[in-house]
Structure 1
Amino acid sequence: MSNVETFAGQVVTDIAAAFSGVMTNIGHKLGLYKAMAGEGWISSQQLAAKTYTDERYVREWLNNQAAGGYVAYDVETRRYNLPDEHVPVLADDDSPLFLVPALEVASSLWMDEGRVIEVFRTGEGIPWSDHHHRLFCGSESLFRPGYKAHLASGWIAALDGVAEKLAAGGKVADVGCGHGASTLVMAEAFPNSTIVGFDSHESSIATARQRAADAKSQGCVRFELASAKGYGEQGFDLICFMDCLHDMGDPVGAARHARQALKDDGTLLLVEPAAGDGVEQNLNPVSRLYYAASTAVCTPCSKSQDVGLALGAQAGEARLSEVLREAGFRSVRRAAETPFNLILEARK
């Protein structure tokens, strides 16, 4: 096989994955994966009956899933099986490895393709608020399980003395909170603390308030419409930037504002996409995903704002630490990490 044919095979694999991503999202929304989880070998007729769907469509969907290795197929019984090790990724909404919501984000990129093409030509930006709404809901659903699994018990616990302060009753700002997934996780974990979510996107703040009402949050949690350099409150024990600093036009200014809003012994928690410091360290599937999102969403978001530094979603620890030190933080260290996240702690 020639090099051209080998590469064509690689592209066919990518195109098949793009087509099949729609099938994966359909499987999630119709509850097909959940219906298969833990059931062992199941026929298309049984799955259709369990999910109140049409058998012929279910059978074709199952064959797509089998061709991609998402489900197993037994040729003798013509039955299908969702392996147990696939359940956390495809069927468990609370798993930190639940990845299906990333397809909602991917769909928003297709919806906004024309705008992205235009900013390539003009060098301008695209405000977060101008993207398709599937980006907002997809981001919330994608990040929430990781926050539930790691934010309080892993990341905050790794910060010097912060968990103890919040357990006793501290004050926290969640800057760029979006729909409030991380804010509500902290409110549940630290009910004695005051947790304030700030975001400049009005509809996201409205959604966050509704999420808090739906969750019947027990702690003192509230959401305010404010930019990363526009909130006026002071005296925070902890200020968080959850997967958002690289989206900001002036991340140095945002971090400097946070430093001024912290108590003297306060802490900044920065959660960013996992990345090495050089492109050569990021030539892998996870970074490929992040670079795509950064091209279509993160970089245009930053370039739509004042300064427009455009850090990108793969800035890496060295560059992020440089930003925090330029903002005036004297101590910056890596506190934790996951396959998808880099977690930095900054102190005055």
Structure 2
Amino acid sequence: MDQEKVNEFLGRFVADLAATEAAGSVVIGQRLGLYRALAEGPATPEEFAERTGCHRRYLTEWLRGQAAGGYVAYEPKTGRFSLTEEQAYCLADPNGPNLPAAFLIALGMLRAEPRITEAFRTGEGFGWHEHHEDVFVGCDAFFRPGYAAELIPHWIPALDGVDEKLTAGGRVADLGCGLGSSSLLLAEAYPRVTVAGSDYHADSIALARKKAAEAGLSDRVSFEVATAQTFTGTGYDLVTMFDCLHDMGDPLAAARRVREALAPDGTWLLVEPNASDTVEENFNPVGRLYYSGSTFLCVPNALSQPGGYALGAQAGEAAMRELIAEAGFSRFRRAAETPFNVVYEVRL
């Protein structure tokens, strides 16, 4: 046994364990608004306690732990902690990537560990709706900034003729819409568009309806509790699916329902995690992130539904292309991509 390799592996373990334990502190920072408060300016723990109204001793440990992880800056001469411009953007800016929300998802899904462990033995599924609410709220909060940055400026223009069609006033079906952020983004960007969002999770749809009302868009954005195989309506100019097809027990039936629902010249905007068809090419930090989420969220949900599929979050383009072709579509192309997502344009 090579002791240097043992030490190298132990170093990796310490980094992983530290990051795992730190997830709770990041979520505390989000829930209590600590990142936003620290973005106001440098502070010692005593000053930060006055600023936030939280207990100095807890804040001291929190600040030091955040600095040890590189999430907070520290000035030894003054004893003050602060956020750099980049840290503030990622952790505290409402228009930033909202990274703490990702930790909220992680902690939420890990609450299901006993059930997922048992599912390994039995092969039974564990539905999305059975998870803690932090999973649903965290997903909406984390994914929304990415969609806001990419959907209207980049993804829609990458589709043939879709921007012009929506500008003129098209009909959109947003499947697996969750709390409705993607639906509202489309309606806000295109004032003549009507959007019909759907999701099988009733609690998410209730929150989506509330968000639509608060945004003053209930006249153009509607939501229904329905699966991707049973959503209502036909003649849609655009059908969208954001990071959800791979979660479904029967994605083929969903694809066939999309084919029925599209107008003859309609487009299906399919957004999926970015993954290679070659398994070992996914052995990287992003792949590890997706495989972990898929173990707790995607595959268990698919196995909880009829259909027999469990594509998982790293299915790859070849699996998607094969499924789309089997559903009867004739055109399928990669229209855009980010380090985390691939955008497919699908047509009849």
Q: Give the TM-score of the pair, scaled to structure 2.
A: 0.96
Partner of 1:68: 69
Could you report, residue by residue, the CA deviation over 1:261-281 in whole angstroms, capped at 9, with x for unpaired residues? 101110000111121222211
What CA RMSD, in Å, does the superposition of the two structures yield over aligned residues?
1.4
Question: What secondary structure is seen at the aligned counterpart in 1 of 2:158?
Answer: coil
Q: What residue identity is the alignment partner of 2:166?
A: L
Contact 2:212 2:218 in 1 (8 A): no
Once the two structures are TM-superposed, the CA of residue 59 in structure 1 deviates from its matched residue by: 1.5
Q: What residue identity is the alignment partner of 1:246?
A: H
Once the two structures are TM-superposed, the CA of residue 72 in structure 1 deviates from its matched residue by: 1.9
Contact 1:248 1:308 in 2 (8 A): no
Q: Which runs of 5+ in 1 are unaligned?
A: none
Could you report, residue by residue, the CA deviation over 1:117-156 in whole angstroms, capped at 9, with x for unpaired residues? 1110111111111112111111111111111111122111
Partner of 2:37: 35
Contact 1:187 1:219 in 2 (8 A): no
Partner of 1:79: 80
Question: What secondary structure is seen at the aligned counterpart in 1 of 2:100?
Answer: coil
What CA distance in whole angstroms lies between the structure 2 residues aligned with 1:306 and 1:28?
37
What CA distance in whole angstroms lies between the structure 1 residues aligned with 2:133 and 2:37?
28
Could you report, residue by residue, the CA deviation over 1:75-113 in whole angstroms, capped at 9, with x for unpaired residues? 222112211111222112322x32211111111222101
Could you report, residue by residue, the CA deviation over 1:253-312 in whole angstroms, capped at 9, with x for unpaired residues? 101110111011100001111212222111111111110110111001111111131000
Question: What secondary structure is seen at the aligned counterpart in 1 of 2:136?
Answer: helix
Matched, 1:345 2:341: no
What CA distance in whole angstroms lies between the structure 1 residues aligned with 2:331 and 2:299?
27
Once the two structures are TM-superposed, the CA of residue 42 in structure 1 deviates from its matched residue by: 2.6
Contact 2:302 2:310 in 1 (8 A): yes
Contact 1:239 1:258 in 2 (8 A): yes
What CA distance in whole angstroms lies between the structure 1 residues aligned with 2:121 and 2:200?
27
Question: What secondary structure is seen at the aligned counterpart in 2 of 1:320?
Answer: helix
Once the two structures are TM-superposed, the CA of residue 330 in structure 1 deviates from its matched residue by: 1.0
What CA distance in whole angstroms lies between the structure 2 residues aligned with 1:269 and 1:93?
27
Partner of 2:270: 270
Partner of 2:60: 59
What CA distance in whole angstroms lies between the structure 2 residues aligned with 1:216 and 1:77?
48
Contact 2:128 2:297 in 1 (8 A): yes
Once the two structures are TM-superposed, the CA of residue 211 in structure 1 deviates from its matched residue by: 1.1
Contact 1:38 1:84 in 2 (8 A): no
Partner of 2:248: 248
Count of residues paired in the alignment: 346
Could you report, residue by residue, the CA deviation over 1:192-227 in whole angstroms, capped at 9, with x for unpaired residues? 011000111111111111111122227611001111
Could you report, residue by residue, the CA deviation over 1:37-77 in whole angstroms, capped at 9, with x for unpaired residues? 262x4322222222122222211111101111111222222
Contact 2:23 2:107 in 1 (8 A): no
Once the two structures are TM-superposed, the CA of residue 13 in structure 1 deviates from its matched residue by: 1.0
Matched, 1:5 2:2: no
Partner of 1:181: 181
Partner of 1:239: 239
Question: What secondary structure is seen at the aligned counterpart in 2 of 1:321?
Answer: helix
Partner of 1:216: 216
Once the two structures are TM-superposed, the CA of residue 323 in structure 1 deviates from its matched residue by: 1.4
Equivalent positions of 1:87-102 (< 5 A) are 87-95=88-96, 97-102=97-102
Contact 2:110 2:296 in 1 (8 A): no
Question: What secondary structure is seen at the aligned counterpart in 2 of 1:315?
Answer: coil
Contact 1:73 1:80 in 2 (8 A): yes
Equivalent positions of 1:306-317 (< 5 A) are 306-317=306-317
What CA distance in whole angstroms lies between the structure 1 residues aligned with 2:309 and 2:164?
36
Contact 1:187 1:218 in 2 (8 A): no
Once the two structures are TM-superposed, the CA of residue 250 in structure 1 deviates from its matched residue by: 1.0
Partner of 2:202: 202
Once the two structures are TM-superposed, the CA of residue 164 in structure 1 deviates from its matched residue by: 0.8
Which range moves more in the overlay, 158-167 or 23-32? 23-32
What CA distance in whole angstroms lies between the structure 1 residues aligned with 2:206 and 2:33?
28
Could you report, residue by residue, the CA deviation over 1:309-346 in whole angstroms, capped at 9, with x for unpaired residues? 10000111222122111111111111111122111111
Q: What residue identity is the alignment partner of 1:68?
A: G
Contact 2:209 2:218 in 1 (8 A): no
Contact 1:191 1:218 in 2 (8 A): no
What CA distance in whole angstroms lies between the structure 2 residues aligned with 1:145 and 1:289?
19
Q: What residue identity is the alignment partner of 1:19?
A: E
Q: Which runs of 5+ in 2 are unaligned?
A: none
Q: Which runs of 4+ in 1 moved over 6 A?
A: none
Equivalent positions of 1:300-339 (< 5 A) are 300-339=300-339
What CA distance in whole angstroms lies between the structure 1 residues aligned with 2:95 and 2:253?
35
